[in-house]
Amino acid sequence: MDFIAKNVAELSPSMTLSITSQAKALKKQGVDVLSFGAGEPDFNTPTHITAAAIEALNKGQTRYTESAGLLELREAVAAKLLIDNNLQYDPSQISVNCGAKHSCYNAIAATINPGDEVIIPAPYWTSYPEMVKLVGGIPVIVETKAENGWKMTADEFEDAMSPMTKMIILNSPGNPTGSVYSREELQAIGEIAAGEDILILSDEIYEKLVYGENKHVSIASLSKEIFDVTITINGFSKAYAMTGWRLGYTAAPKKIADAIDTIQSHTTSNPTTFAQYGAIAALSGDQQIVADMRDEFDVRRQYMLSRLQGIRNVRVVEPLGAFYFLVNIEPMGINSVNFCEKLLSKAKVAAVPGVAFGAENTIRFSYATGLDVINAGMDRFEEFCAQH
Ligand code: PMP
Ligand code: GLU
């Protein structure tokens, strides 16, 4: 007897998470592994944030909150979205969830019917197609080109549309490519979506990690029509080094926000109460820490770019945001899973196979790790590529 539901049987486990645990397990056994797997800041959560959560615990903030999260936190999120993103959401349009991953899933579950098509530009974050499949939707993958900075053009979007298209997922700055869409590019895509009544799920989790002259733009800020079809998603993991706190949020038109809240009220209820107090401190406290972490990521990015550009047989596009390099290994003539397995077993370097992101012939390195690890890891990678 097969007890597993059909939709679930067709899912693949998250490779980003499994590579990271594999590397951790090897390290525990004493193997000298250099891990570029996890998309997880190596910084500790700033102490004013941890202090706020500890204080909340000590004050007895250990009970349920409103299912969508504390009003005080949703007010702080609304204020952040107004100041940073020029988005005017009422706190009743905001739902705080158990990580931005959960926010994405809630948004998809609230809007996608079985058979609905969801356009996902590739390379994509590994979980989007699986979430769509889990609710019976159909992921429609649009291959983007390295020469376009791995960004989907308005024409490519139009070509992928069908009468069944319900949603498009945008992720700028993007994982795994580091691509950052310009205002004009977002405007063009947003106008098409609004004109066709297609929802936009805009995952802005890497908003604060943008380098050089590039600017993050929230697509929902570009017009009222685009605002009305957009679900904006963000969270605390990347900007404030709070991955383990599991806090993200959705901001959406009221009907969608209500649907998300209903799902949450029957599934997880509120995200952990004392963690929410940490999030209030994150949003209301000093934002210089966010810029400082970004600057540190930028130093690593520039160093790693110079190293990767010097390695024969691999190609790389400069990432403009987030903390990843998507490296093209096509000239090596080996698939991404085998490549990563060999890289781990022979060179003791952990990276994620591009196939997890719909980008066979590539591998992903995260540079959310110290310069010493990057330096040693690039030495090993260079030697590995020279030998294979
Ligand atoms: N979106 C993207 C693009 C991501 O890379 C991640 C990875 N952590 C998430 C959402 C989810 O983040 P979290 O659940 O930790 O808030
Ligand atoms: N998003 C990060 C990554 O892509 C963390 C792991 C995950 O949630 O998938 O590596």
Cβ of 103: how many Cβ atoms within 10 Å? 29
Q: How many residues does the chain have?
A: 388
Question: Could you tell me the distance, in angstroms and rounded to a whole number, from the CA of residue 21 to the centre of ligand 2?
Answer: 12
| pLDDT > 70 in the chain, percent | 100
Please give the class, per CATH, of domain 63-284: alpha beta
pLDDT tens sequence across 107-143: 999 999 999 999 999 999 999 999 999 999 999 999 9
Cβ of 50: how many Cβ atoms within 10 Å? 15
Contact 198, 165 (CB under 8 A): yes
- Closest ligand 2 atom, CA of 125? 4
The reply to whether the predicted model has a pTM over 0.85 is: yes
Q: What is the pLDDT of residue 134?
A: 96
| CATH number 3.90.550.10 given to 6-45+288-387 | no
Ligand 1 residue neighbourhood (C-beta within 6 Å):
39, 99-101, 125, 171, 175, 203, 205, 235, 237, 243, 248
Question: Could you tell me the distance, in angstroms and rounded to a whole number, from the CA of residue 24 to the centre of ligand 2?
Answer: 15
pLDDT tens sequence across 168-213: 999 999 999 999 999 999 999 999 999 999 999 999 999 999 999 9
Q: What is the pLDDT of residue 2?
A: 86
Give the pairing type, strands 199-203 and 324-328.
Answer: unpaired
pLDDT tens sequence across 271-301: 999 999 999 999 999 999 999 999 999 999 9
Mean residue pLDDT across the chain: 96
Q: CA 256, CA 275: separation in Å to the nearest integer?
A: 25
Provide φ and ψ at 12, rounded to 5°.
-105, 145
Q: Tell me which residue has its CA closest to atom 6 in ligand 1.
A: 101
- Where along the chain do its domains lie? 6-45+288-387, 63-284
pLDDT tens sequence across 1-21: 789 999 899 888 888 888 888
Radius of gyration of the chain (CA): 21
Q: CA 8, CA 136: separation in Å to the nearest integer?
A: 10
Question: Could you tell me the distance, in angstroms and rounded to a whole number, from the CA of residue 238 to the centre of ligand 1?
Answer: 8
Contact 92, 257 (CB under 8 A): yes
